[in-house]
Chains A and B, each alone.
Chain A
């Protein structure tokens, strides 16, 4: 505040901060891309896509699954899993405190939510990353929940879909998180062998260990428009190669051009597109040999769950 403004009587003073606070919160939103002021109710109706510039805003895992699945009965899978902090990790802050903070902020236990529901009447298992929970980072809980989702697909024969939004593996769990890359990939290999479709739906951002495992392994790899998707972060690459990155580098359109993804799908069309694709992929699935393999996978997947439960009960939770 300049000396002149201080002289002005407070009644006629127009302080920037006060003016902002006087607008009721949560009624209006500003598009981070085109700065358009948007009415929230309108924005929600438009699937949190800016009606002016088509910018796809980040949304929480729960909102995503609500948007994607049919209204009505849904069953959350493995909701009771929580991080165990195996390394008692501490940087400037304790990992435990960071977890508590993220749990309070997102009202979720960890960065992945898995649900069994229906899409246009057909059964499906859907998982979604919550970027708001420690950057959607993948630790042991995320990996295990993902695998339980895959096991549910193996048990029911329902297709599996994941919506990724993650900075990568969770540093605070070191190898416990790194190994989730192999764990989720191994489970997907089983799903693939069972002939059950897996769709990876990448949203902004999908990086590091998540990108280099479950996200790139879809039978169909889909991305939302303009999502940042890659292995190394742009800043790291820039520092390594010491040159400016090309325009649109690591964006969905760039990946499509380079053959890494099958298609880009607008969020407002995701239900229609995915339902249409899955209908075709599963059209031949209702033959008898498939049923046979399904019964064998039931026992297998149950064995898996028992194993993992048993190992997670260990006194220091170290596996």
Chain B
């Protein structure tokens, strides 16, 4: 069993391995079995399609944190040019769980901020599994202010299990750091596009997630708490995470149904991890389109901020009995 694949991806992985074997046989023995191979490849595609057509919310939740999924730095590499990473909050430290920097998107200078997870064990620890500490959020805030000052649009890529629950993080004011970003982003005088590229983990995600656009990748998720966390509190058992994932409506399609999203970026068959290039190009096209719209709107900055404010005020549904 290949650990790079999720449970439900195993049949695809097995079939692909078989095709690979046959291809070697074909080359080594100089025989022609290309018809068989083609047939198998088609079968593999159909198998992937049938599996991905009926994904449960829980499976999508697993995909959103797939170890092979493209991360912020992958997108920066594939979508942007001239990236200069900028470090540090100027007060305490540099937090590797959030990367920030100047970059160009089809020539246009922008500020990019994103959560960053690690690929191997060493990098995972270095990036703290994508869980920022207060200094990470304060670094992000510093970059936001810089973006405002130099009239650079802000692009935020969200991919975190949540803000880090540690002793030092509490001592240095994790709550305040998150709150301050929410407060400042609501009135930041530059266009802001937020994209959930993987895991949208609660307040830790929202702290770089307030803006003029909210976009999600097809197999990303966004929720107030992780399915495991929710299950252990409400079902008293983390094993019920599948139920929690469904109950909280965490997938891009279900979040769009609730009217929170501007767009869902489709991913290639089998998920973003199977084709970085294609996923990045889909996202790039979306970013450019929204950036164009927002740049026009930003000519009247007061109006852009007012629209953003009204957008934020509409979030959340309730019943008003005094209106009837």
Interface residues of A (CB under 8 A from B): 78-84, 86-87, 89-92, 139-141, 143-144, 147, 169-171, 173-183, 185-190, 192-193, 208-209, 211-217, 229-233, 236-237, 240-241, 243, 245-246, 249-250, 258-260, 304, 307-309, 311-314, 317-319
Contact = CB atoms under 8 A, between A and B. Distances in A.
Max chain B Cβ within 10 angstroms of own Cβ: one of A90, A215, A216, A246: A216
Given A182-B186, A217-B180, A236-B165, A209 B202 contact: yes
B107 interface: no
A77 B270 CA distance: 51
A95 to B, nearest CB: 9
B154 to A, nearest CB: 15
A211 B316 CA distance: 19
Contacts of B260: 175, 179
Given A236-B165, A240-B165, A309 B320 contact: yes
B233 interface: yes
B235 interface: yes
B210 A182 contact: yes
Contacts of B243: 91
Contacts of B249: 87, 174-175
A245 B318 contact: no
B230 A171 contact: yes
Contacts of A212: 163, 174-176, 178-179, 203, 207
A91 B173 contact: no
B314 A307 contact: yes
Interface stretch (B30-38, B80-88, B219-227, B281-289): B219-227
A250 B309 CA distance: 33
24 contacts: A140-B318, A169-B224, A171-B224, A174-B250, A176-B258, A178-B224, A179-B315, A182-B315, A183-B316, A185-B182, A186-B186, A186-B309, A214-B179, A230-B174, A231-B169, A232-B163, A232-B169, A233-B165, A243-B167, A246-B167, A249-B170, A308-B314, A317-B319, A319-B258
A154 to B, nearest CB: 12
B173 A216 contact: yes
A312 B317 contact: yes
B171 interface: yes
Interface in B52-87: none
Nearest to A257: B171
A206 to B, nearest CB: 9
B120 interface: no
B259 A318 contact: yes
Contacts of B164: 240
B182 A182 contact: yes
A241 B166 contact: yes
Contacts, number: 231
Given A86-B258, A232-B170, A308-B313, A173 B165 contact: no
B121 interface: no
B313 A92 contact: no
A176 B257 CA distance: 13
A176 B318 CA distance: 9
B1 interface: no
Contacts of B319: 81-84, 312, 317
Contacts of B203: 169, 178, 181, 208-209, 212-213, 231
B321 A81 contact: yes
B320 A312 contact: yes
Contacts of A90: 247
Contacts of B316: 139-140, 143-144, 173, 176-177, 179-180, 183, 319
A231 B206 contact: no
B179 A82 contact: no
Contacts of A140: 315-318
A141 B185 CA distance: 23
Given A179-B260, A211-B179, 5 more contacts: A87-B248, A139-B316, A231-B203, A317-B318, A317-B319
Contacts of A258: 171-173
Contacts of A260: 173, 175-176
A192 B312 CA distance: 17
B178 A213 contact: yes
Contacts of A318: 257-259, 317
A317 B316 CA distance: 9
Max chain B Cβ within 10 angstroms of own Cβ: one of A81, A140, A189, A217: A189
A177 B248 CA distance: 11
Contact of A91 (B170, B247, B310): B247
A84 B206 CA distance: 23
Given A89-B247, A182-B210, A312 B318 contact: yes
